[in-house]
Each structure stands twice: as C-alpha cells, then as structure tokens.
C-alpha cells in the first residue's frame, strides 16, 4: 500500500478518488487551503499567493495526484480570470516541485489532471491524438501552460497527464447543469449542436487515476474519453430520453451564449473528437463506454 498526496482533494474528482484509494488500503493526504482532519484524511494547508505550504506534507509520500485549479467554466474569461486559471494550476505544480527539491522528496509518480481542450476549442472532422500540438486559442494556451508546469516534474519522477473530457457524475458537476433544463422540458442543443462533446463517467475516470498510479509503464499524456463520442445535440437528446422528457426546442442561439459568457462560450459552442487509443493500449477498458448506459447508471443513483 502507498502513501498518496492529493491536491484539490475536496473536489468532485478528488473526493471520489480519495474514497477509492482508501478502499484499496492506501494512506491519503490532502493539500488544500485549510488544515484539518476529515473522515480520517489529514489536510495540510498551502497558500499559493504567499508561496507557502505546511511542513511535513511530503514526508513519506510515494505518489502525488495534482487536481488543484480554479474551475474553467466558473466565471467569465476576463484577462485577470485567465491568469487565475493558469496560475492556479502552474503555480501549484511548481510550488510542490520546489518543496520536493528542498526536502529531498522523490515520489514514484506525479499524476495530474489536464484538459481535453488542449487541442483548442474547434469543431472539425479531425480526431485528435496526444501527438497533436496545443491549440493557439485561450483554452489551448491555458492547457499548454498547465501541462508545461506539470512536465517540470519529469526530472524528478514519472509524470502522467490525464486530458479529461466532460466528467459525468451522479451528483453535481456538468451532468446536473445539463439535466436541469431537461427536467423542465426545456432541453435544447447549444449553438449548432454539431460540436463534439467528449465525456467520461466519473467511475471510469477514477479507475484511470488508479491505473496511472499503479502502472509504471504509463507516462505522458492520455486522452480520457469514453468510447462513444457524441455531438452536443446527441448528448442533450440522450439526457432527455433517459429522463423521459420531451426534446423538441430549437437550439439555443450561439450569439446569446457569446453575449452572456464572452470567450468562455467557445468551450460550449465548439468541440472535436479525440482518440482514446493510447489509453486503451495500457489494457484499460471502460465500464461505461456508451452515453445512454452511463446516464442510466448515473440517474439511477440519485
């Protein structure tokens, strides 16, 4: 069993991963804004603005899972917000690296969240692979700088980056926002509805993180996307089908989303497919490969 440190451990993914790791007998620590102990997991405090963290957080740590970062879609992308999105990811990774260098910590792996929008907010027929370059738009720049900070750890240990698509969870997250208008009979595609909307079931994502920790052959970036890739219109239509709700309204005009959200709207109105072949070559299989099956499982848990 291993000693594992998770940054952003109180979030949607971090909480589920913590539960899974504890269930396997691992010891888990969190690194967050406030120190304390909850459900047997100790949280050490750090302050990114001050560049400080609590002493002893890295003592005996064998794996680090880096999930910390401001929510990409939580606020309009002003210049200051974009810098916050980048800084919350890069500063945290580099602060940890500096602490590891000072204390002589040599973990076995540094496993980090990353974004499937690394390739940019574009809609095309291309199926992107991990070998493709980053996009040159704002989300591509955020993702590139995020990964560059994570890659600084390659001089110290094995690094794995999971480029994660929309995470579907039984509680909260993207699915709750998608399902809310559908439950009122107001479900509709966004913009053209033809933009691809890669997704992954939370359970599969957690299994992938565990595999990345355990499989010493894994290194570099992996697209974390379920086998069945759908457009935004197909996503919304399937949510309505599973909930037994009508789906007949015209698409929400893209210009309204652009007015309301500014550049942030690009990640809602654009999207392409990406290949999960590299992940599958590790032997990983999806327990929830199809959207309808995943949604039926998730809604049954509510």
- 100-122 per-position pLDDT tens digit: 999 999 999 999 999 999 999 99
The partner residues of 37 in beta bridges, in order of sequence, read 42
pLDDT number for residue 262: 92
Residue 93 buriedness (CB in 10 A; 0-12 / 13-18 / 19+): buried
Angle between helices 291-300 and 232-243 (to 10 degrees): 40
The rounded distance, in Å, linking the Cα atoms of 103 and 123 is 46
The rounded distance, in Å, linking the Cα atoms of 211 and 202 is 14
Cβ-proximal residues to 133 (8 Å cutoff; 6+ apart), any chain: none
Inter-residue contact 294 to 168 (CB < 8 Å): yes
Inter-residue contact 6 to 14 (CB < 8 Å): yes
Beta-sheet pairing, 52-53 with 41-47: antiparallel
pLDDT number for residue 58: 95
| Residue 60 falls in which region: left (phi positive, over 0), alpha (psi -120 to 50) or beta | left
Q: Is the dihedral of CA 64, 57, 19, 94 positive or negative?
A: negative
Residue with tokens 């309808």: 292
DSSP character at residue 125: S
The rounded distance, in Å, linking the Cα atoms of 136 and 120 is 7
pLDDT number for residue 38: 85
Averaged over successive runs of 10 residues, the pLDDT of the chain (302 residues) comes to: 95 96 96 89 93 93 96 93 94 95 95 97 96 96 97 97 96 90 95 97 98 98 98 97 95 92 92 98 98 97 76
Separation in Å, CA 128 to CA 105, 132, 193, 276: 35, 6, 20, 9
pLDDT number for residue 183: 95
Residue 62, both tokens: 């064998």
CA-nearest of 85, 5, 96, 11 to 46 is 96
pLDDT tens-digit series, residues 49-59:
899 999 899 99
Residue with tokens 């909850």: 38
């Amino acid at each position: 069993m291993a000693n594992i440190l998770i940054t952003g451990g109180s979030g949607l993914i971090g909480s589920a991963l913590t539960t899974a790791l504890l269930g396997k007998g691992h010891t888990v620590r969190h690194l967050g804004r406030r120190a304390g102990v909850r459900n047997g997991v100790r949280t050490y405090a750090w302050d990114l603005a001050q560049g400080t963290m609590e002493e002893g957080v890295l003592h005996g740590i064998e794996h680090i899972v880096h999930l910390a970062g401001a929510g990409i879609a939580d606020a309009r992308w002003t210049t200051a917000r974009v810098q916050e999105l980048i800084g919350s990811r890069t500063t945290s990774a580099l602060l940890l690296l500096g602490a590891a260098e000072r204390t002589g910590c040599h973990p076995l792996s540094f496993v980090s969240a990353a974004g499937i929008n690394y390739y940019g907010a574009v809609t095309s027929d291309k199926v992107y692979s991990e070998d493709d370059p980053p996009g040159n738009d704002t989300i591509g720049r955020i993702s590139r700088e995020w990964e560059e900070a994570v890659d600084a750890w390659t001089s110290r240990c094995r690094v794995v980056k999971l480029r994660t698509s929309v995470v579907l969870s039984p509680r909260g997250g993207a699915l709750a926002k998608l399902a809310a208008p559908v439950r009122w009979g107001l479900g509709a595609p966004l913009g053209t509805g033809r933009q691809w909307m890669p997704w992954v079931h939370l359970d599969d994502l957690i299994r992938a993180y565990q595999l990345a920790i355990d499989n010493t052959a894994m290194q570099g970036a992996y697209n974390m996307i379920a086998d069945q890739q759908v457009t935004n219109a197909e996503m919304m239509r399937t949510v309505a089908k599973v909930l037994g709700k009508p789906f007949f309204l015209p698409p929400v005009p893209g210009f309204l989303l652009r007015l309301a959200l500014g550049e942030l709207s690009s990640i809602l109105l654009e999207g392409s497919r990406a290949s999960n072949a590299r992940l599958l070559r590790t032997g990983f299989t999806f327990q929830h490969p199809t959207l309808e099956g995943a949604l039926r499982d998730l809604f049954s848990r509510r």
